Structure 1
Amino acid sequence: MSQANWWKGAVIYQIYPRSYQDGNGDGIGDLKGITERLPHIAELGADAVWLSPIFTSPMADMGYDVSNYTDIDPTFGTLDDFDAMVARAHELGLKVMIDQVLSHSSNQHPFFEESRQSRDNPKADWYVWADPKHDGSAPNNWQAIFGGIAWEWEPRRKQYYFHNFLKEQPDFNFHNPEVQDWLLSTMRFWLDRGVDGFRLDTVNFYFHDKHLRDDPADFRLDGEAAIKPYDMQYHIFSKNQPENIGFLEKMRKLMNEYEGRALVGEVGESHHPIEIMGEYTSADRLHMAYSFEMLGPNFTAAHFRDQIDRFFKLAPHGWPCWAFSNHDVPRHATRWAKHGEQDAVSKLAAAMLLSMEGSICVYQGEELGQTESELEFHELTDPQGINFWPADKGRDGCRTPMVWEKDAPAAGFGSETPWLPVKPEQAARAVDQQKGVEDSVLETYRTLLKLRHATPDLKTGRTMFVESEEPVLAFHRGEKTICAFNLSDKPQEIGISGIDETLFAIDSEAGEDKVWLGPNGALIGRLA
């Protein structure tokens, strides 16, 4: 693998900065804390780190509302702290990717403050503005993800502005070329500082329908009520516009000016996400993309097989990035708990994920088998949870601090009173309880990451699925590697012959013409 293609088959470790390590004792994680803990990630065997937003922000949505795209929020430190973190990461052999929230800014961004003043100022057309209907109501039926309509009235302009998320997160008007050029310039700022790539937040949200046509109802609901009105619509006009492709190509052209840089896009979509991933990673667009298709409750062999198979059929020259957990969804050890004992499911999930064709994202704490934290309403900070409680408890449960030492205050996070509480159930899975412990979840991840690096088939070999019945998932990677997984807590067998060497196994064994898989068992072997 050349240096330019380091991302292909790479394992990217996601850091949620507020919750990784508190370096100054104020209860919030920061860049100095991250720098201190980078050796953990290097020892794990990851290729890169991805940092969720660290830019200047009022924190209405924990940094996904940016008010200055070229500076660090004081909560996390300074530009000097960032440079020191990048230098240390590179010293350890880790690439650094940072979150870029381009679809919208904070309402406290100077450009929005100017835009909202009048209809004829220099930034008047930098955000999405629209006149009210004759009765004063919003221009169309578009809904906001965090609740309510996606339009907010501005009396100075006597117009509404569009926001896919909170009203504090107005959407940029990507139909304005000046907006595109300026956003690309902010990316250049970080490329010049030495970052190795970007994770692009809501990459399919950039453009909206110029005609502001209503989104239709979601035809799949079948009369079932969704928790959010947003989920009742099929978003064919508020996002996923064809003009998006042109901007992705502009981004790729910028990246090509720098050696060995990469883009990974988050496709936030419930309709045809795999198709969008394929389209966005074809030709000279994104290097890779991921969706939420593996971030839900579905835990069947057919489901995983379908996502991988469909992607490569739709985009034979594209490249996916698979993840089981991130900062927006309940942790997979909790989502899939009914399929087996906690550690067993966590280790099985690690073996499956790290055997898949594509690049891989591992979310902090996933390597510990970390579970979702059960929080009370008064402990929440996430607007999604606060707005939709108790039907939707929000995202704070997967964002609680990383646990390093079981018996230290806040499990070694760095402050006795962190921004989100550390519960005993999470502290029990601390690094110091698993490091060096044979067959722990942490050591299983380390073993698998080492195997992935040492086995070219597992990094870039093509996938060919083996015929199997539920609950067994099996596939070839490349010419010589075979992988088999039991997605249940009952023993299973599958007919596979020709295994010359077992490279990795969890409670499983290869025979002459079959593989026996114990409960939540896994086996990776080399064929003769």
Structure 2
Amino acid sequence: MELDAQSEQRPKEQPTSDWWKGAVIYQIYPRSFYDSNDDGVGDLPGITARLDHVASLGVDAIWLSPFFTSPMKDFGYDVADYRGVDPIFGTLADFDALLARAHALGLKVLIDQVYSHTSEDHAWFQKSRTSRSTEKSDWYVWADAKPDGSPPNNWQSVFGGPSWTWDARRGQYYMHNFLPEQPDLNVHNPDVQAELLDTMAFWLDRGVDGIRLDAVNFMMHDPALHDNPPVKNDGSKRTRSFDFQHHYFNQSHPDIPAFLERMRALADSYDGRFLVAEVGGERAQEEMELYTRRPGRLHSAYGFLYLYAEALDPELVRSAIDLWPSDGVTGWPSWTFSNHDAPRAVSRWAAEADREAFANMALLLLVAMRGNVFIYQGEELGLPQAIVPFDRLQDPEAIANWPQTLGRDGARTPMPWQKSARHGGFSGAEPWLPVDSRHYDLAVDAQETDTKSTLNLARRFVRLRAQYPVLRTGAMRMSTAARGGVLAFERGSGDDAILCVFNLTPEEADWSLPAGWRIIEQINSDRSEGALPAFAGLIASRT
């Protein structure tokens, strides 16, 4: 059932400071969005050229993954200059043009900031490694070797191997939670904090509307360098040395919230700015609450509950509701089913034969969630995880752990814009990652004129969320009426309540619409009485 075509794509104007609450945010991975100069890599002018597509979805904001100066050892998450644009993406003037165009289209703009580590090429690290007595000698985490020359402790890095690399120039080890080329900042240092806050102000002054803070819980370590305790061996297969430890001391220091409060105070000195954190790890939920629950900390946070889940079922959603109750006390959540770090949800959660039906249902479910919603580029097209052959892999984690991990490249391949064009219309040159052959038929132009395409359904669903404010900010509670693979929950209460029902299985399920409800949206269903078809979803309001 379609909404009135004239319905607003965005919610009615709300206070500037509250625009983010319940917002739908579209994530753009710049390397893979659109290449404007035919060098095989997406860029800022390319994003600007394609912003009309994003605006047509009816989303509130875009989030740009890193475009800063970088040697690209981790594709931009190794920053060599926080205030510079890498030439492969363009210039600061190109960013300003992008920002102006986005604002003209009614889109807010969020940027990524990585404050836990830099590139080894950053001028700060180059100065820090020269001597133990420079003004930046304590800007990174340095430690002496043990008497036998081995690293200071047993900490392991996310990408495998010790978190320590020996530097002969300084005669010490430096710490890196990620690649050796990504040394960890010593964010305990007040001078480092001051510089990071100045960096944040640089972008806020430039007009960005919010910041997504990468790897927030990695920003501070235990200065005493205690060993991490081992994880009890339960017989499960581990592909990374990182997974053999509880990460109590290399990250998650109790001083992190105090620095987040300084960030929030700075953001609040501007009008309507938004801060959202990425928080992963075994204590992610505890830390997300810690970083958002108390007034004066971050606006929101998201973790990896859905991103790494192998199956989508009612219990997974129930656990999310339980973790973020509508109690007015717990912080405000953000949710995403896919992003640049995880295999695309449609490939994790559905068989290839069910891909389109599942992708459509999952989009409706996502926009029905309480909290902020992140849609990853290509999700609105129903793109499956791309198959990238070993000789085309770029992701250092995938290469190091091949073939034991899927890696991240399969979620980072170019956006297909034109079905019949070379490289899907992404670039006139061979792209940095190949376009999956299955993605051509899902290109934007192939879906544009089909009212039942995933693309047009995505537009419809986002418009539905805008039309019913209760879907943006209303309470969320599970219904006890559903059984098996049927997920049912209500948003809001009383006359404004919305009922959301989804069959998460490939089989028909028993279910009937209760009396007093009227269907306002549905997918993969003809409203058969007493039955809910496979991967059906529906939204109903009070009659």
Same fold (TM over 0.5): yes
- Match of 2:26, SS state, is strand
- 1:181 paired residue among 194, 212, 222: 194
Aligned to 1:68: 81
The 5-angstrom pairing of residues 315-334 of structure 1 reads 316-334=329-347
RMSD: 1.5
Match of 2:537 in 1: 522
Shift of 1:146: 1.1
Which shows bigger deviation, 434-443 or 487-496?
487-496
Letter in 2 for 1:527: R
TM-score (norm: length of structure 2): 0.94
Bigger mean CA offset, 325-334 vs 302-311: 302-311
> Which of residues 279, 285, 296 in structure 1 aligns to 2:290?
279
In 2 relative to 1, CA 496–373 (structure 1 residues): closer, same or farther, beyond 3 Å? same
Do the aligned residues in 2 keep the contact of 1:98 with 1:197 (CA within 8 Å)?
yes
Change beyond 3 A, Cα 1:319–1:30: same
Match for residue 416 of structure 2?
A: 403
Matched residue pairs, number? 524
Compare relative contact order (CA 8 Å, sep 6+) and give the higher one, 1 or 2: 2
Mapped to 1, the partners of 2:149 and 2:54 lie a distance apart of 54
Secondary structure at the residue paired with 1:200? Answer: strand
The counterpart of 1:489, out of the listed 506, 529, 538, is: 506
Indicate if the aligned counterparts of 1:23 and 1:414 stay in contact, CA closer than 8 A. yes
Of 366, 370, 375, 1:357 maps to: 370
The question of whether the paired residues in 1 share the 8 Å contact of 2:39 and 2:429 is answered with no
Separation in structure 1 between the aligned mates of residue 181 and residue 151 of structure 2, nearest angstrom: 17
Which consecutive aligned stretches of 4+ in structure 1 deviate over 4 angstroms post-superposition? none
> Aligned partners of 1:482, 1:112: CA distance in 2, in Å?
54
User: 2:488 aligns to what?
Assistant: 474
Residues 463 and 477 in structure 1, CA contact (< 8 A), matched pair in contact too: yes
**Alpha-carbon displacement from aligned partner over 1:343-384 (angstroms, at most 9, x marks no partner):** 011011101111000000000000000011111111011101
Matching residue's letter, 1:65: D
**Residue identity matched to 1:373:** A
1:504 maps to amino acid: E
1:167 is aligned to 2:180? yes
Deviations 1:461-517 (A, max 9, x none): 101110132211111101221000000011113355234321111133668xx8632
Distance 1:446 1:191 in 2: 30
Equivalent in the alignment of 2:9: none
Question: Which deviates further from its counterpart, 102-111 or 388-397?
Answer: 388-397
Counterpart selection for 2:214 from 190, 201, 221: 201
Deviation at 1:112, TM superposition (A): 0.3
Equivalent residue letter for 2:179: L
- Please give the alpha-carbon distance, in whole angstroms, between the structure 2 residues aligned to 1:495 and 1:501: 12
Per the alignment, in what secondary structure is the counterpart of residue 236 of structure 1? coil
Q: What's the % identity of the aligned pairs?
A: 49
Distance 2:466 2:417 in 1: 26
1:376 equivalent in alignment to 2:393:
no
Q: Look up the equivalent residue of 2:48 and give its one-letter code.
A: T
Aligned mates of 2:505, 2:55 — CA distance in 1:
32
What's the CA shift for 1:332?
0.7
Extract unaligned runs of 5+ from structure 1: none
For 1:280-359, what aligned pairs fall within 5 Å after superposition?
280-282=291-293, 283-296=295-308, 297-312=310-325, 316-338=329-351, 341-359=354-372
Give me the whole-angstrom Cα distance separating, in 1, the residues matched to 2:44 and 2:352. 37
* Other structure's SS at 2:325 match: helix
Deviation at 1:438, TM superposition (A): 2.2
Other structure's SS at 2:535 match: strand
The answer (yes or no) to whether the contact 2:359–2:382 under 8 Å persists in 1 is yes
Task: Give the whole-Å Cα distance in 2 for the aligned partners of 1:410 and 1:515.
Answer: 46
- Give the equivalent residue in structure 1 for 2:237: 225
Letter in 1 for 2:193: Q
Contact 1:56 1:67 in 2 (8 A): yes
Question: Could you report, residue by residue, the CA deviation over 1:272-322 in whole angstroms, capped at 9, with x for unpaired residues?
Answer: 322222221112111111101111213111011111222227973411110
Distance 1:515 1:82 in 2: 54
Map 1:75-90 to 2 at 5 A.
75-90=88-103
Residue type of the alignment partner of 2:180: K
Aligned residue for 2:159?
146
The alignment partner of 2:533 has SS state of strand
- Mark the CA change 1:456 to 1:332 in structure 2 (over 3 Å): closer, same or farther: same
- Match for residue 521 of structure 2? 504
